[in-house]
Structure 1
Amino acid sequence: MYQVPNYTQAVSMKLSEVLADIGVDDRIVLKRRRSVLLREAVKNVNDQLWNMNIYTSYYFGSRSEGTTTMGLRSDADHLFCLNAFSVIQDWSEWIPGVLNYLMIQDSSVSPGYCVLQMLRPDVPLPADGESDQYFFRDRTGKILLKHIILPGIFHLKHLFGGFLDRLQVHGPAGVNQGPPGYCDMDLVLALHCKTWPQQARRWQDQHSDAQWPSAEIKQYCSRTGCFVVPVGYRGSEHEQLEWRISTSLAERCLMFNLNITQIRCYVLMKMIIKSFLDPQFEHVISSYMCKTVLLHCIANSHFNIWRENNLLSCLSLCLYLLYNNIINENCPHFIIPENNLMRGKISPAVKPYILEIVNNIINSKGAAMLGIKYDDIGSRLQFKFFNLCRFQTSKYISGLLLYDTATNISISVPVKNKSPHEAVQILTNCISKILNVQCEGMVATACQLKLPWCCTTLGSVLASININQHNTVLSDALKLISLGLNTDVASSKLKLASILYCIQDIQKVDLVLSEIVRRYDLNYVEPFCACYEFERKSLRRGYFAICDIYNEDAQYYATASCVKFLPCEFYCVPTELRYEMVRSTQEERIYRTEIIDDWMDCAVVDSLPYLYFLQYKVNSHLGRNNEKQSALSKLLRTIIIEPDLGHRETALNILGKCMEQEGRVRDALQCYLMSLNLRRRNNAAKIHICALLSVMGNFRA
């Protein structure tokens, strides 16, 4: 049996403990994977509900694999697979009525790449035509698709939603730069081929003594097919025509089948590259190369060595293979080994220095780990050797993961610009789609989470129609609203309270608000807003504790979404809040971004301020002066001390209306001015100020 030297074992165990402390353990890795896969499913369910079936979304990379840390700040890798294209490898796979392209992988094409021949849409025959901006006719008459066609689609940003408004296109991909507190997102357009690429079939069929990957894993990988990505092999004679073959789905499967020691090896390799190589030789050795090296090491070693107490030796094994790859300037792709990932990446001038750095790390016997500053690995390791404890990040990671999940789930169906009756039809169809879809796994979970939000919105639109026509709410609307009351702690219940308030059923409003107060524990319920991206300042400790216990279910106990009323819900909104729907003058609209700022045509308010506002109004009606003043004080206090309100300016506006009701005109004006100071344009405070000054002028006259 393999024996681990005592020194190596001691360092390995301490290093494993450090990595567990920063969230690289089985539980958090699974949480990360579940969160990203659910986000992927929610994105695709949303797109289907919106009839945006032009693409299917996939999330790849370290975030989806669970192979990142907070300190590494990995980008989110988002792949859009365009559904209108069908890439085939056999004529029998031809589909009528779609854009069919035959994948060609012959000796003239670089390993790991292919060219795409255009076929006719009516019959399975080659298409005919001439060369132009997007197509090339070769000497044999084949019409080949240039890969430049897909990056051009990035400029049609309306197809992909508002989050592409900060997109910067770089060659075949795009980078959507996140604001402070948000990660950048790498975006790639691709086409899907249902069958396994010919160049990868040797990997699938080869038999060896290796215990990993198993025949079952290989079989599953082959069923995922592949993508073709619009980038050619640099320096190739046919670079503009070549498409890179991507086996990302298969690689995600392989990564999901690694044990925690193997994952920790990969995380450490990335930290080493970023700490010791990137400062001088940035991007020469990529994370993808590190992943490829790891997979080769696992496939060519006995499974028994990949244990926590042998982490340092496993890391040295990977670094030694990386060292040899650099010497030979050859890092073979794991599935298509003829594709050399290092070709042309390392110049002769820097090669000796890179080799020296890697060699020194290997020979340091773990001492180099003390020089890693990412996630404070070096100092944490020193603390471990002195048996001192450092802060564990698992709860914090869980909280951030839930925030991402809750934000994506709460994104509404696009009926903002529809009439109430059109909105009812669209929402009814969406609910029918969700109920009738045959799905399992994460897609089923996404549908279960999405359904209550659709029910609440449909119920509210119906209630608005009822109030407008009959000044009451019919049972069908109330039943739908009741199906969505538990989307989170407060927002859907506040919609119900708002509806009841608009029909002046004050006693029932009081009961609903009392239930919200009972559930809204200020120690752990966290407000969140999906309207726009803003830098969050702090999150509650209690919130993190809840998130660490649950997965996506934590949103029911620990999150309070902002309350959004669409224009088609107009009659469910108290008069004081309706002004938010007309906040923008014609001149101010030019300063809005069409998709990102579409929430500005709605009445949107954070749950907690709205709770206290409704309490103030209800207690005013019931003549409970002490309770009314208490609610007003809580509203003011929340606006001042709550760090993460997404719509603080709106909260100030409704506080101003309360001050007007109290006869405190100067305080009301101060509230509106403070609101304008937060958001200079597209703010209903301007309307309130004009109205207030008019009243004051008439009073003086």
Structure 2
Amino acid sequence: MFQQPGYIENVSLRLSEVLADIGVNERITLKRRRAMLLVESMYACSYQIIDANNFSYVFGSQSEGTTTPGLKSDTDQLMCINNCNVIQDWADWEPGVLNLLMIQDETVSPGYCLLQRLRDDAPLPCNHVPDKYHCRDRTGRVLKKNIIMTDSLAVVFGGGERHGPAYAEQGRPGTADSDTVLALTCKSWPLQARQRLDWQGVGEWPSNVMKRYCSNTGCFVVGVGSKGSQNEEFEWRISTSLAERCLMFNLNITQIRCYVLMKMILKTFIKPHFEDNISSFMCKTVLFHCIANTSDIWRENNLLVCLSICLFVLYNSILNENCSHFLIPRNNLMRGHISLEYKPYILEILLYIINSEGRVLLEIECDGLCARLWLKLSYLLSFKTNDIVSGQLLHLTARCVDQFLLEYTIIFIRNSGYAEAIQQLLKAIFKLVITSTQCQGLDKTASSLMARWYCTTLGSVLASLNIQQHNAISAEALTWVSLGLNTDVASGKLKLASMFYCIGDTQRAEIVLRDIERSYDLNIVEPICLCNCVINDQAFRREFNAICDNHNEEVIKYTTANCVKFLPCEINCVPHELRHEMFRSTQEDLAFRGLIFVDGWMDLAVVDSLPYLYFLQYKTYSSLGRQEDKQRALSNVVRTINQEPNLGHRETAMNLLGQCMEKED
């Protein structure tokens, strides 16, 4: 079939168009990368606020922009613990810190190392075993056991499902599955990868600029040994994830589409039967080798040939059970992974796919690829999903802001008094302002997004203190609240309206509420809540997706509405009907609480923005004696509870409604 004139070009172009329609195009790829890098910046800001010497990276398909909605890729998070100095050269030893020497000799599996404990007062080996996570080997070296990392993860996450060295979080509604790995950082490029810096591929890829960047990224060591190794308990896997991300960021769109197609083939034909034999990382490595050893073939009208070459190299790798890590060539990724029982069947499937000359793509249902390709080959239009992907990315960004606000500050001060809460919030704001002033790019964006939320919370805490002392609100409190009014459509303004209502200033409360209702477009605005993850897996509003497709995180303030969170020290800014939420747990309930990061919100009063807007309107119009408006607000509360699918706190809304109904007798 390849011999038919124009066949390759025609199918390749139609296939490229189909992939572009489902979000595998330059624009959506860049939006994906921006969203994930912004999440990294928010992690950095959050760690800085709580004085944690850590850093988190988001690796894998989500940050590379090499996924689709149908692939349902995990989010891979690598948390770096920077409390020790991992070195490869004795000259890098530092006094007064925990120094660990990477040992990479013939006794260690390729791609792995041992970590030898050194003294902190002199560049000499440590002679004593400090704790259960260290052990002396046969040569007398004190080595660090890799189990310390998984034990640390168990403490942080409270157990959970283990995937090798990772903690796996799966099945949370509205949230992508995630794998979190703890790692130590080494500032220098691994010795085992240095020969790759001197090697030049046929297509002059990687370029000298890319290799220079990679050599400056250093590496990570992850707490897992090579399967079957005699040192499995002490080996640490060397990770070059930052360098690999650099390589991925320098692929052209045809290379990215080729990788996505390989993952679709893997998901459709191999993983359902042979789950753990072939990984997407092996496919990525095969792609790297193919790009480095070819030139001038990676074009849209040649996509089918590019895919066939990659599949043929993958076939040979499985046949020989050898897929060398692109940056650490001696590390065979397939060692111990290809089952002798399944190997013939996997090879048979790959051979069938290769010989099909592209026809097999019409069997892939992931993202409706088969149907879309039929439509394209029949010269009919295909439905585009770029706006859906854009909506998912902006929703993710807004959820991450909410997550960091909840997890890294609010839950740590949820039981604090006024003085401590004010001090901690000021500290967070000042750190974020400094970051925003001194940094550029996404770090500046992340700190600006987060700082406004803290300003509103600080203003509300000050107002609560003012109300307790004087039944009034100071100009200072109003100033702080005003700095965060436009973080989203409603939550900041609802705190302001709630403050006015609680001091009896119903006129000003009504003005603020009217402004919120005018801004809250029910056809656009999406609720945001990360408290208890009960949000249904509903499609986002079409107009929300359309706006997101043309903008980035700057439209959060027009398109999202976070749930409203009140700390106990904001209690005087909360109507009495909602205050009971702060005392929902008995001592028996507390005994069954989960992690602080999961259940910490239960000590707060939390309510979705839209039902709280209508509830406050009901209360305000009741005070003002506007009966018709009061009944309209009550009807809106009922309608929201019945019709809004994405409420995170439906029970709270029903509680408020019940108390309104009591008022109505």
Name the TM-score class by shorter chain.
Answer: over 0.9
1:259-312 CA distance string (max 9 Å, x none)? 11100000111111221222332221110110000011111111x211111100
CA distance in 1, matches of 2:130, 2:485: 59
Q: Give, as a single letter, the amino acid of the residue that structure 1 aligns with 2:560.
A: T
CA distance in 2, matches of 1:352, 1:25: 35
Following superposition of structure 1 onto structure 2, how do residues 457-606 of structure 1 map, counting pairs within 5 Å? 457-536=457-536, 537-595=538-596, 596-606=598-608
1:55-204 mapped onto 2 (5 Å cutoff) = 55-130=54-129, 133-157=132-156, 164-165=157-158, 167-204=160-197
Q: In 1, are the aligned partners of 2:201 and 2:292 still within 8 Å (CA)?
A: no
2:535 and 2:648 in contact (8 A); partners too: no
- The worse-fitting range, judged by mean Cα deviation, of 645-654 and 383-392 is 383-392
Contact 2:158–2:595 (CA under 8 A) maintained in structure 1:
no
Q: How far does residue 132 in structure 1 lie from its aligned partner after superposition?
A: 7.0
Deviation sequence 1:574-604 (CA, Å, 0-9, x none): 1221111112222332333241122121111
Distance of aligned partners of 1:132 and 1:478 in 2 relative to their CA distance in 1, 3 Å threshold? closer
TM-score (ref. length: structure 2): 0.95
The answer on 1:423 being equivalent to 2:416 is no
- 2 CA distance for matches of 1:397 and 1:221? 30
Distance 1:554 1:402 in 2: 9
Separation in structure 2 between the aligned mates of residue 464 and residue 318 of structure 1, nearest angstrom = 63
Query: What do the CA deviations read for 1:442-479 (whole angstroms, capped 9, x no partner)?
Result: 22211010010010001110111111111111111111
Q: Alpha carbon RMSD of aligned pairs, Å?
A: 1.8
Cα deviation code 1:51-102 (max 9, x no counterpart): 333x321111111111111111111111111111221111221222322101
Measured against aligned partners, the alpha-carbon deviations of 1:505-563 in whole angstroms (never above 9, x if no partner) come to 22211111111111111111111112121242342111111111211122111101111
Which residue identity lines up with residue 146 of structure 1 in the other structure? K
Counterpart amino acid of residue 148 in structure 1: I
The answer to whether the 8 A contact 1:167-1:177 is kept is: no
1:307 aligned residue: 299
* Distance in 2 (alpha carbons) for counterparts of 1:131 and 1:505: 64
- Mark the runs of 5 or more structure 1 residues left unpaired by the alignment: 158-163, 665-701
Find the counterpart in structure 2 of residue 335 from structure 1: 327
- Cα pair distance change 1:207/1:182, threshold 3 Å: closer
Residue 698 of structure 1 aligns with which residue? none
User: Equivalences for 1:201-600 in 2 at 5 Å?
Assistant: 201-302=194-295, 304-410=296-402, 411-412=405-406, 413-414=409-410, 415-437=413-435, 438-536=438-536, 537-595=538-596, 596-600=598-602
Task: Say whether the 8 Å CA contact 2:100–2:117 is kept in structure 1.
Answer: yes
Distance 1:451 1:265, change over 3 A: same
CA contact (8 A) 1:213 1:254 kept: yes
598-607 vs 192-201, greater mean Cα deviation: 598-607
Taking a change above 3 Å as real, the CA distance of residues 170 and 541 of structure 1, as seen in their structure-2 partners, is closer
Q: Deviations over 1:171-191 (max 9, x none)?
A: 422212232443221121111
* Letter paired with 2:184: L
Aligned AA for 2:621?
N
Structure with larger RCO (C-alpha < 8 A, sep 6+): 2
Read off the aligned partner of 1:58 and give its amino acid letter.
Y
Alignment check: 8 A CA contact 2:117 2:143 kept: yes
Residue 9 of structure 1 and its aligned partner are, at CA, apart by: 0.5
Counterpart Cα distance in 1 of 2:25 and 2:353? 24
Query: Is residue 178–residue 185 contact of structure 1 (8 Å, CA) maintained in 2?
Result: no
Deviates more, 1:347-356 or 1:609-618: 347-356
- C-alpha contact 1:180 1:535 (8 A) present in aligned 2: yes
Q: Distance in 2 between matches of 1:200 and 1:548?
A: 40
CA contact (8 A) 2:21 2:384 kept: yes
Cα separation, 2, equivalents of 1:120 and 1:617 = 67
Q: Could you tell me which residue of structure 1 aligns to residue 31 of structure 2?
A: 31
Deviates more, 1:518-527 or 1:410-419: 410-419
Instruction: State the Cα deviation string for residues 653-690 of structure 1 (Å, max 9, x = none).
Output: 1122222222x1xxxxxxxxxxxxxxxxxxxxxxxxxx
TM-score (norm 1): 0.90
Distance 1:280 1:583, change over 3 A: closer
Match of 1:616 in 2: 618
Larger mean Cα displacement after TM superposition, 457-466 or 575-584: 575-584
Q: 2:201·2:293 contact (CA, 8 Å) conserved in 1?
A: no
1:488–1:555: 8 Å Cα contact kept in structure 2? Answer: yes
Distance 1:501 1:77 in 2: 45
For 2:485, what is the secondary structure of its paired residue?
coil
Query: Is the contact made by 1:606 and 1:646 (CA closer than 8 Å) also made in structure 2?
Result: yes
Deviations 1:333-374 (A, max 9, x none): 101111111122223443332222212211111001111121
Shift of 1:30: 1.0
1:43–1:408 Cα contact (<8 Å) kept: no
Structure 2: 5+ residue stretches without partners: none
Residue aligning to 1:675: none
Distance 1:75 1:524 in 2: 28
Give the letter aligned to residue 429 of structure 2: I
Looking at structure 2, the residues matched to 616 and 275 of structure 1 have their Cα atoms a distance apart, in angstroms, of 53
Give the distance between the partners of 2:130 and 2:434, measured in 1 at CA.
Answer: 46
Identity %: 59
Partner of 2:651: 649
The 3 A distance-change label for structure 1 pair 391 and 507 is same
Q: What SS does the corresponding residue of 2:336 show, helix, strand or coil? A: coil
User: 1:513–1:209: structure 2 CA closer, same or farther, 3 Å change rule?
Assistant: same
Structure 1 residues 170 and 282: CA distance shift in structure 2, 3 A: closer
Contact 1:489 1:556 in 2 (8 A): yes
Deviations 1:237-260 (A, max 9, x none): 222221111100000111011111
